[in-house]
A and B are shown apart, each in its own frame.
Chain A
Amino acid sequence: MKFKSLKQQIIVIFLTLVLGIQLVGLIPIQRAIDKNVRSLVTKELEVGEKVVLNLLGSNNQNIINGAKILAADYGFREAISSHDQETILSALTNFQSRIRADIAIFQGVDNDTIAVSGDLTEQEAMPVVQHLISQYSASSQTLQFEILNDIPYQLVAVPIKAPIVIGWMVIGFEIDDALAQKINELSGLQVTFIQHVQNKPWNTKVSTLGTDDQRVIQNYFAQASKEVAINREMDVQGELYETKFLVLHDDAENKLIALLQRSITAEISQYQELKFSLLILTILGLGIFSVAIIYVSNYIAKPIARLSENAKQLEFGNYEAAITSDRKDEIGELSKSFNAMREAVATREEKVKRLAFWDEVTGLPNRAAFIQQLEASITSHRNRKLSLTVLVLNLDRFKEVNKILGRDMGDELLSQVAKKIKAEMRADDVVARLGADEYGILLSTLSEDLALLVADKLKKAFELPFDVNEQKIDVSAGFGIAVFPQHGETDEALLHNAETALNVSKQRNSGVVVYHPQFDVGTQENLTMATDLKSAIQAHQLVLYLQPKINMQTKQGYAAEALVRWMHPEKGFIFPDQFIPFAEQTGLIQSITLWMLEEACRVHMALKQEGIPLTIAVNISTRDLIGSDFPEKIEHIFRRHHVTFDAISLEITESSIMDDPVRAEATLQRLAQMGLKIAIDDFGTGYSSLGYLKRLPVQELKIDKSFVMNMANNENDAIIVRSTIDLGHNLNLKVVAEGIENVEAWNLLAKMGCDYGQGYFMGKPMPEKEFQAWLVRWESQSQQIAAETTSSAKKATVHQIK
Chain B
Amino acid sequence: MIAKLIKFTTLQSLGLVALTLSQLSLAADVTVEVRDSKGKLLSDAVVYVEGSKTANPATNKAFEIEQKGRQFNPQVSVVQAGTQITFPNKDKVRHHVYSFSPAKKFELKLYSGVPANPVLFDKAGTVVLGCNIHDTMLAYIHIVDTPYFAKTSASGVAAITDLPEGSYELKVWHYALQTDNKPAQQAITIKSTNQPVAIQLDINDMKLM
List A residues at the B interface (Cβ < 8 Å).
Answer: 72, 74, 77-78, 80-82, 110, 161-164, 166
Shortest CB distance A160–B (Å) = 11
Cα–Cα distance between A81 and B102 once the two chains are bound (Å): 8
Q: Supply 24 A–B pairs (Cβ within 8 Å), ascending by A.
A: A72-B135, A74-B98, A74-B132, A80-B100, A81-B101, A81-B102, A81-B105, A82-B100, A110-B180, A161-B130, A161-B135, A162-B100, A162-B130, A163-B128, A163-B129, A163-B130, A163-B131, A163-B135, A163-B136, A163-B137, A163-B138, A164-B128, A164-B207, A166-B100
Cα–Cα distance between A74 and B96 once the two chains are bound (Å): 11
B96-141 interface with A by 8 A CB criterion: 98, 100-102, 105, 128-132, 135-138
Shortest CB distance B138–A (Å) = 5
A interface footprint on B128-172 (CB within 8 Å = 1, 0 otherwise) = 111110011110000000000000000000000000000000000
Cα–Cα distance between A77 and B102 once the two chains are bound (Å): 13
Chain A neighbourhood of B132, CB < 8 A:
74
Is B135 a contact partner of A78 (Cβ separation < 8 A)? no
Chain B neighbourhood of A161, CB < 8 A:
130, 135
Shortest CB distance B12–A (Å) = 33
Shortest CB distance A113–B (Å) = 13
Question: Could you say which of A77, A80, A81 has the most chain B C-beta atoms within 10 Å of its C-beta?
Answer: A81
Chain B neighbourhood of A110, CB < 8 A:
180
Is B100 a contact partner of A77 (Cβ separation < 8 A)? yes
Chain A neighbourhood of B129, CB < 8 A:
163
Nearest residue in A to B135 (C-beta to C-beta)? A163
Shortest CB distance A132–B (Å) = 17
Cα–Cα distance between A74 and B107 once the two chains are bound (Å): 11
Nearest residue in B to A162 (C-beta to C-beta)? B100
Q: What does DSSP make chain B's interface, helix, strand, loop or mixed?
A: strand
Chain B neighbourhood of A162, CB < 8 A:
98, 100, 128, 130
Shortest CB distance A489–B (Å) = 148
Chain B neighbourhood of A81, CB < 8 A:
100-102, 105
Chain A neighbourhood of B207, CB < 8 A:
164
Nearest residue in B to A72 (C-beta to C-beta)? B135
Cα–Cα distance between A72 and B101 once the two chains are bound (Å): 16
Chain B neighbourhood of A164, CB < 8 A:
128, 138, 207
Chain B neighbourhood of A80, CB < 8 A:
100
Cα–Cα distance between A74 and B105 once the two chains are bound (Å): 13
Query: Which 6 A-B pairs have CB atoms at the shortest separation, nearest pair first?
Result: A81-B100, A163-B130, A163-B138, A162-B100, A74-B132, A164-B128
Chain A neighbourhood of B137, CB < 8 A:
163
Question: Could you say which of A110, A163, A166 has the most chain B C-beta atoms within 10 Å of its C-beta?
Answer: A163
Nearest residue in B to A79 (C-beta to C-beta)? B100
Chain A neighbourhood of B131, CB < 8 A:
163
Shortest CB distance A669–B (Å) = 175
Cα–Cα distance between A211 and B111 once the two chains are bound (Å): 63
List 18 other contacts, CB 8 Å, given A74-B132, A162-B128.
Answer: A72-B135, A77-B100, A78-B100, A81-B101, A81-B102, A81-B105, A161-B130, A161-B135, A162-B100, A162-B130, A163-B128, A163-B129, A163-B130, A163-B131, A163-B135, A163-B137, A164-B138, A164-B207
Cα–Cα distance between A82 and B101 once the two chains are bound (Å): 9
Chain B neighbourhood of A163, CB < 8 A:
128-131, 135-138
Nearest residue in A to B128 (C-beta to C-beta)? A164
Shortest CB distance A150–B (Å) = 36
Cα–Cα distance between A519 and B13 once the two chains are bound (Å): 193
Chain B neighbourhood of A72, CB < 8 A:
135
Chain A neighbourhood of B105, CB < 8 A:
81
B12-66 interface with A by 8 A CB criterion: none
Nearest residue in A to B102 (C-beta to C-beta)? A81
Cα–Cα distance between A472 and B137 once the two chains are bound (Å): 170
Cα–Cα distance between A732 and B13 once the two chains are bound (Å): 215
Cα–Cα distance between A625 and B129 once the two chains are bound (Å): 182
Cα–Cα distance between A165 and B122 once the two chains are bound (Å): 24
Cα–Cα distance between A563 and B27 once the two chains are bound (Å): 218
Cα–Cα distance between A531 and B207 once the two chains are bound (Å): 166
Shortest CB distance B105–A (Å) = 7
Nearest residue in B to A110 (C-beta to C-beta)? B180
Cα–Cα distance between A248 and B137 once the two chains are bound (Å): 37
Cα–Cα distance between A373 and B102 once the two chains are bound (Å): 156
Nearest residue in A to B129 (C-beta to C-beta)? A163
Cα–Cα distance between A27 and B98 once the two chains are bound (Å): 78
Shortest CB distance A490–B (Å) = 146
Cα–Cα distance between A74 and B138 once the two chains are bound (Å): 15
Chain B neighbourhood of A82, CB < 8 A:
100
Cα–Cα distance between A319 and B102 once the two chains are bound (Å): 136
Cα–Cα distance between A74 and B130 once the two chains are bound (Å): 11
Chain A neighbourhood of B98, CB < 8 A:
74, 162
Shortest CB distance B104–A (Å) = 12
Cα–Cα distance between A164 and B137 once the two chains are bound (Å): 10
Cα–Cα distance between A792 and B136 once the two chains are bound (Å): 197
Nearest residue in A to B131 (C-beta to C-beta)? A163
Cα–Cα distance between A787 and B5 once the two chains are bound (Å): 218
Shortest CB distance B86–A (Å) = 20
Nearest residue in A to B207 (C-beta to C-beta)? A164
Shortest CB distance A493–B (Å) = 150
Chain A neighbourhood of B102, CB < 8 A:
81
Nearest residue in B to A77 (C-beta to C-beta)? B100
Shortest CB distance A43–B (Å) = 42
Chain A neighbourhood of B128, CB < 8 A:
162-164
Shortest CB distance B117–A (Å) = 21
Nearest residue in B to A80 (C-beta to C-beta)? B100
Cα–Cα distance between A161 and B138 once the two chains are bound (Å): 10
Nearest residue in B to A81 (C-beta to C-beta)? B100
Cα–Cα distance between A501 and B100 once the two chains are bound (Å): 171
